[in-house]
Structure 1
Amino acid sequence: MFFLPKVVVNEEDKGGFAKGDTAAGASAEGHSPDDGHDHGAEAGATEGAHAAATPEQLMELSTTRARYNKASDTQARTLLASELAEAYATASQYDSAGYYFEEAAKARGGEKSYKKAGDAYYEAFTFATTQERAAELGAKARAMYEQVLKNNPSELDAKTNVAMTYIASTNPMQGITLLREVIASNPNHEKALFNLGILSIQSGQFDKAEERFRKLVEVNPKHVEGTFYLALSLANTGKGEEAKALFNKVKTMSNDPALAASVDEELAKLN
């Protein structure tokens, strides 16, 4: 459900980081070979995306791409770049969506345009199947978000995403620093709380994870994943009964069979 880079994090800055794979599920960063551009897709990147795209989506992509390639007027190309980017995003081909959102942002400018490009590249980053691809897409996302933050330093969602690209890089402490800055600006920021909690779990600091997830579910009692990970944190800090109650609550909050299977697995460990 979320991109969880496999790094060991010590929130007190006393530990080291162990780099691992950055892959998280099947690739969704593919694009059609006749895009007319090359933005670094590795072999096999299309396998997940084209399997998921419907015939209608592929037809829409083909039609819009042809219109874009034929357009000579700058304003028309900019509008079609945005339209093509939206079509790629709908087809879950996020690296291509990022490319065309970026083209539109360069022509149009503006915080919202660069935010769309950054969000698309970040989504592709979360599905990267190699460290090299994650590094490439993470850098593209950061470049777009930097344009956003230059004009609006208070855009904390963008800052949080920048942080997570650093977490999966060779400079993860920069990511931790940014996440802390987000929390300092807004102690109730859900995405930052969630990511700090996950990173604490990954480093085995379940007491700190409990603190983060308690705050998260206080801010948003309907946060399904936050409730699950709070229960997991409690289960690992010796608070089994409270953990059981929360795991059972999660089962009433979502119909996701994969999540239900994870809950049953954790409950079995507590029984």
Structure 2
Amino acid sequence: MRQDEIQINLHGAHEAIDPRAVAEAIMAVDKILRGIASDSPASFSVSGLSVGSAHISVRGDHYRVATVNEGLTTLSASATIPAGWGIESVTGLVELEHVRLRRGVEGVGLRINEAITAIDGVLAEHARQSIAPPPPSLGSVRGKLYRYNNDAKRSAGLRDYRTGHVVDVHFPAHLTAEVRSALDHEVEVWGEVRRDVEDRVRSISIAGIEVFEESRVAVTLDDVAGILGPGWTGGLDPVEWVRRQRD
């Protein structure tokens, strides 16, 4: 087979395999390929199809196919996102393993060149673990509080000043007044932080909140009175000085 092809093998008795298994397997492999980081456009096509068991060949580009092959080796051994793979690729592999639950499918495998990989429960579990979010930890987030919902979930939205991303804020009942009064202000909140697999803060269940003073305070007439000093009119009465400016 060609070096830019992946062959999907759905093992099962002739005329027994659910046709949805074929469609879902093709979509899963398409997702795996599209999640591979590459400068070349993502363009794939079905290059072969045969039945008995179902064998479908998908043609892409050599780099992506080789990266998929190397990634399968990595995930066979450990729960690590393979080099060059994105989360979408790993998710596609998990979805491919689900195809074996379709009627008539006795097993799923991928063939790339001479390498044949069984897409089984062990491989899928490694894939799931590799993209599982880390456990909650204690931490803090600083940014502008711009959304507030005093519903049963008691939630708010905060735009993290470091990343620009929105962080969901959950707060206990006794902090309701403080959170409401902090709306549209810059704040720092601390508590139990949840991150995604890319270490981005997605939400925080807060134990406390601090509001920072606004950087710009409203200016009143009293604040500017006398700012020019007593000699700004050159000895003239202020009314006379204004009249001369108009003239």
TM-score, length of structure 2 as denominator length: 0.28
- Which has the larger Rg? 2
More helix by share: 1
Whose RCO is larger (CA < 8 A, sep 6+)?
2
Of Structure 1 and Structure 2, the greater strand share is in 2
TM, length-normalised to structure 1 = 0.26
